Structure 1
């Protein structure tokens, strides 16, 4: 006999999961309030326990975003029909003490988390913490744009607040109402000084926001164990669908596929191929995603397959993430919103002969993400560059030129350069390595979807100049780890200052930085390494190691005679090694 559980419509699940819901509810202290991702339950007076049932992490995060305040509970339980793993709970200061925590996966690929507290806690805060725990730690929220579901909208959009009726006296009024075509004139809010803008989810808003904390390339597989498969048009976009498609060489999309599913799989890095879609689908996906989706690709070639995946995920993350969606809403409402951070490239060099090459790698960065601007802080060690030449090479981009005496320690050079930077994030670039035009953009995207403290790229492609050979090395990409290629590190300027900045050392400055980040409890994430090529010469590196290190069979994927980087480097003749 179940305790007093409020009626609710559970998500479409199989009999085993339905039985799990019943057994979990029976084990909770009653009365129990049940909430699902397909509809809220009837109110329960002072529930002791709250049970939330959702299809997958994305559905849970969407549910919690629009749930609003709930009665406090002593027990909060979560059931997910699909989950990539256990859903942890980070207890917040101010809650009652945690009396017990049961977090486990289910045999069918779902997850159960039951948190028991010594006294009642704010249920919505616990659910929000669980929603954050089941995805990558993206620092997000409303991104500065307050939204609500417009009256009469049939289906809630993927990311709205709980308000469904307009209150002109609300202290946090919605600026945008989503899901309706027209609505009666609404009273001006004294807080915003205007009424909300009503926006229909059509055109470039038709796909809706796709949660980049759930649908992202983390876990991309560079090799495959199964062949090309057709997309099952009956399956909705879930983390389980992404998991099932990861091992495949590629996925054929046939129309009429759901544009939201296509966008989410593209954001996840799944190698999709398709014929051109019809006009309305093309308008929903956008020109960039459509072009990447329909571009010819040789899926039998692992490198061409991964390059195709990168182009596709880049376009989809730029156009269909929650940040992109809310940015378009803000533009329609005339509201401010969060954007990508500004970037300061810190480039230290003691080789005058590499000035044109090194500054040219910064000048070629196209970086079209909203709000992302680039400045260069050039730190010349042991020599003084011509400021006019630097300005000419950069083509009008902001820059600062610093010079340092020969006896200045390298770590102090980098510390002074970062102190002179004005960007929100700092990127350390090396003077002799190659960078594709989208390196900074890809790092910013990875910073967003990973939530990592420091992001970078692996040194996957290496050009061994003394023997005119390019190698591709093994190494995990789109994964968390303990280091990245030192010449690709991106970190928030304030965080860098908070951990002490670059250490006063003459060598291994990057390893010191990685150690400081990890010691502070931070995380390090490596995105793909296809747009970056490390150069090794006979000498002149702060990390000295023989060429044999890069030719070891256990780390070698492929090698070519000559300079053979990935196509994503998009290099011109002036960049070719001499």
Structure 2
């Protein structure tokens, strides 16, 4: 189909220059030919150079094309194309063909910025290209620059709100520019940048007043022969920050499922190239530069696990890059002893890969926990956002190295203040500001005052207010949101248990999903009157219409756009979710292993009995308090129970005595 669309575009072109570009392995359709007069560029072989950027800056309307065709193998490849398009002539018609895309990604409808070439748009057409591909054909009344058009189409495929730029405004030069700044249409700038990243083999001269420069080895120069040799860019034990980062907007946990086929794969080499082998068949091959794309990930989702054999790929950095992408996407990975050059993967990620055996992952709960722990480590060490935060600090730039979140906590129960504050105090990977609303009681109650002093002594920020008891819950939450100072807001309840990476996982999901509101899948419920834990079946790591109200996480701007929390006593969470949908926003639901909902006999705004959960249980029910291992519970806050064990852990048995019952 891509070949037919390519030939159709060439056949219907107007008089004038025609340029064809490809990006990504497999972008060029088999059997296709180009007329001799058509200029061809392989963007993978076209470095982002100073000369190209100068040509882009000096471009005028007289130097233009009638048609520019860009063929991308996947959306992952399309997102890195912009960095290599500097210096191309403007074009009156732009055709973008994407050979294949992961099923969860959107069509390439352009997301239009406030300024740009779109006032010249005359006609556009977006259509399917076969079962997995997409085609966008745009006509303009006058020639327009390529980069903003291609960037808008790429953003349209990943969807979500306007993309947050990477922390450092960096100009990148060299053959790997698109790998280091994926999705960044500004990486070809020459002026008003914070830093310059040089991925050229020989470097280039900078003026005296140039911003700070850092260098990284181009993947083409980081071969096995170069590893550890005198004067080589890559030491024998490379660090994670020497590996191009993972583009988390397209390579991420979206699409992960708890269930899988009873089939495993191996990542192994044949003739110096890595392949994903399932049974006796090669399912896909890793490109030479180690780029694992959204399509590769989608074609591995059905596997129970993948074993890393650690053969040789094209080079050590490319090999590490491929493993890092699979790990960041949550593909369950298993590894034996790793070679010395695998240090580029990072100690935490390597440890996770070696923490389980293939047989352990036959249990779907164990498989999900391993996936979450591994992708956390990989995102921290290899995600583009985290990587550029560290690189900014390395260059002496003032970049935020830790995300800041305002937690909105409203309670009518003095006895729950200490418990609720401890759930926030245990959060790691984020900085928190807590806005605590004491709804109907005084901060001077001795036990309340003591808990507040203890929380503040830990160094955490705390803002207190005492709203009138007559105010509705929604009004109190809205006032709390207006009091908060961080741009990210999280709602937490006073009686539920939260794992220490609850907020960090929501921040990560916000980044990779691009959603306007994120939340968790409501799975674990502790029925206090029955001393029973129920786990509901659900679907996570996907766009959704609903998320648990005690995990809602959104930007301040999004809350303002939907009119804030509605002044209601009940249904505040559902109305917030509905408001985001009605405003055209996107909701994303991540995993539900970070919290347990406590259900008492009374005192809930959602008034359903224990029978509601018992009827809906899909993963089973267990006696006692049985949270996910990711909760890492503090025994101090465990309920009085007949059994306190992680979900899925067998009851300890002593010979001749039966189950051991643990008191709370």
Q: Scaled by the length of structure 1, what TM-score is found?
A: 0.88
Q: Report the secondary structure of 2:625's partner residue.
A: coil
Aligned length: 555
| Distance in 2 separating the partners of 1:70 and 1:77 | 14
Alpha-carbon shift at residue 173 of structure 1 (Å): 4.7
1:13 pairs with 2:26: yes
Whole-angstrom CA distance in 1 between matches of 2:187 and 2:385? 22
Are 1:35 and 1:51, in contact at CA under 8 Å, matched by a contact in 2? Answer: no
Aligned with 1:89 (options 87, 110, 117): 110
1:576 aligned onto 2:576: no
Q: Distance in 2 between matches of 1:347 and 1:448?
A: 23
- Equivalent residue number for residue 38 of structure 1: 44
Structure 1: how far apart are the matches of 2:19 and 2:601? 72
Q: 1:90/1:299 Cα in 2 relative to 1: closer, same or farther (>3 Å)?
A: same
Name which of 306, 311, 316 aligns with 1:251. Answer: 306
Whether 1:74 aligns to 2:134 is no
Instruction: Give me the whole-angstrom Cα distance separating, in 1, the residues matched to 2:307 and 2:467.
Output: 56
Q: Distance in 2 between matches of 1:200 and 1:405?
A: 61
Q: Deviations over 1:338-394 (max 9, x none)?
A: 655411111111111212211110111112xxxx41111111111123344213035
1:120 to 120, 140, 143: 143
Q: Secondary structure at the match of 1:102?
A: strand
Contact 1:455 1:484 in 2 (8 A): yes
2: CA distance, partners of 1:338 / 1:72:
37
In structure 2, how many angstroms separate the alpha carbons of the residues matched to 1:402 and 1:162? 44
Q: What's the secondary structure of 1:129's corresponding residue?
A: helix
What residue is the counterpart of 2:352 in the other structure? 292
Per the TM alignment, residue 435 of structure 1 is displaced from its structure 2 partner at its CA by: 0.3
Decide whether the 8 Å contact of 2:84 with 2:178 is kept in 1: no
Change over 3 Å in CA distance of 1:505–1:195 after alignment to 2: closer
Q: 1:158 aligns to what SS in structure 2?
A: helix
Change (3 A) 1:249 1:335: same
Match of 1:260 in 2: 321
TM-score (norm 2): 0.77
State the distance in 2 between where 1:14 and 1:146 align.
Answer: 28
Corresponding residue number in structure 1 for 2:431: 373
Determine the structure 1 residue equivalent to 2:583.
520
Encode CA deviations 1:59-107: one digit per residue, 9 max, x unaligned. 1111113422532222211122332254333355643234230321324
Query: Could you tell me which of 179, 188, 193 is aligned with 2:208?
Result: 188
Determine which of 208, 221, 246 is the counterpart of 1:210: 246
8 Å Cα contact 1:341/1:424 also seen in 2:
no
d(CA) in 2 for partners of 1:495 and 1:408? Answer: 23
Are residues 1:511 and 2:569 paired?
A: no
Q: Partners in 2 of 1:308 and 1:90 — Cα distance?
A: 36
1:414 corresponding residue in structure 2: 477
CA distance 1:509–1:380, change in 2 (3 Å)? same
Which secondary structure does the structure 2 equivalent of 1:467 belong to? coil
Kindly state the Cα deviation for residue 432 of structure 1 after the two structures are TM-superposed.
0.7
8 Å CA contact retained: 2:43, 2:84: no
Which whole-Å CA distance do the structure 2 matches of 1:91 and 1:426 have between them? 27
CA contact (8 A) 1:148 1:162 kept: no
1:39 Cα shift?
3.7
Give yes or no for the alignment of 1:561 onto 2:585.
no
Q: 1:109-164: per-residue Cα shift (whole Å, max 9, x none)?
A: 333222234443332211111111232547233433313225xxx65561358999
Compared CA separation, residues 410 and 563, structure 1 to 2 (3 A): same
* Cα pair 1:78 1:113 within 8 Å, conserved: yes
Q: Tell me if structure 2 keeps the 8 A contact 1:349–1:380.
A: yes
1:469 aligns with 2:492: no
Q: In 1, Cα distance between the equivalents of 2:42 and 2:156?
A: 18
Taking structure 1 as reference, are residues 550 and 564 closer, same or farther at Cα in structure 2, changes over 3 Å only?
Answer: same
1:159 to 180, 188, 207: 180
DSSP-derived class of the 1:404 partner: coil
Q: 1:500 aligns with which of 532, 548, 563?
A: 563
Once the two structures are TM-superposed, the CA of residue 552 in structure 1 deviates from its matched residue by 2.1
Kept in 1: contact 2:408–2:480 (CA 8 A): yes
Q: Which segment is superposed worse, 412-421 or 505-514?
A: 412-421
1:297-349 per-residue CA deviation (whole Å, 9 max, x = no partner) reads 52111111100000011111111111122223222322234655411111111
Partner of 1:346, secondary structure, is strand
- Relative distance call for 1:36 and 1:544 in structure 2 (3 A) is farther
- Structure 1 residue matching 2:64: 3-state secondary structure: coil
**1:534-572 deviation digits (Å, cap 9, x = unpaired):** 11111110111122221225x522211111111000002
Q: Are the aligned partners of 2:96 and 2:137 in contact in 1 as well (CA < 8 Å)? A: yes
CA shift for structure 1 position 513: 1.0
| Structure 2: distance between partners of 1:484 and 1:270 | 23
Taking the aligned partners of 1:89 and 1:195, their CA distance within structure 2 comes to 34
Among 136, 144, 167, which residue is 2:168 paired with? 144
Counterpart residue number, 1:344: 406
Instruction: State the SS of the aligned residue for 1:231.
Output: strand
Q: Which ranges in structure 1 are unaligned for 5 or more consecutive residues? A: none
Q: Whole-Å Cα distance in 2 between the matches of residues 128 and 157 of structure 1?
A: 12
Partner of 1:433: 496
What do residues 163-204 of structure 1 show as CA deviations (whole Å, max 9, x unaligned)?
A: 999x9xx53356223325775763222xx6x55333447522
Q: Which moved more, 1:195-204 or 1:123-132?
A: 195-204
- 1:220 corresponding residue in structure 2: 256
Q: Quick one: structure 1 residues 279 and 227, their matched pair in 2 at CA, closer, same or farther if it must change by over 3 Å? A: same
1:62 paired with 2:80, answer yes
Q: 1:144 to 1:13 in 2, by over 3 A?
A: closer
Contact 2:251 / 2:328 at 8 angstroms: preserved in 1?
yes
Rounded Cα–Cα distance in structure 2 between residues aligned with 1:419 and 1:547 = 35
1:103 corresponds to = 127
| Structure 1 residue 532 corresponds to structure 2 residue 574 | no
Is 1:49 paired with 2:49? no
8 Å Cα contact 1:74-1:119 kept in structure 2: yes
| Separation (CA, whole Å) in 2 of partners of 1:13 and 1:182 | 29
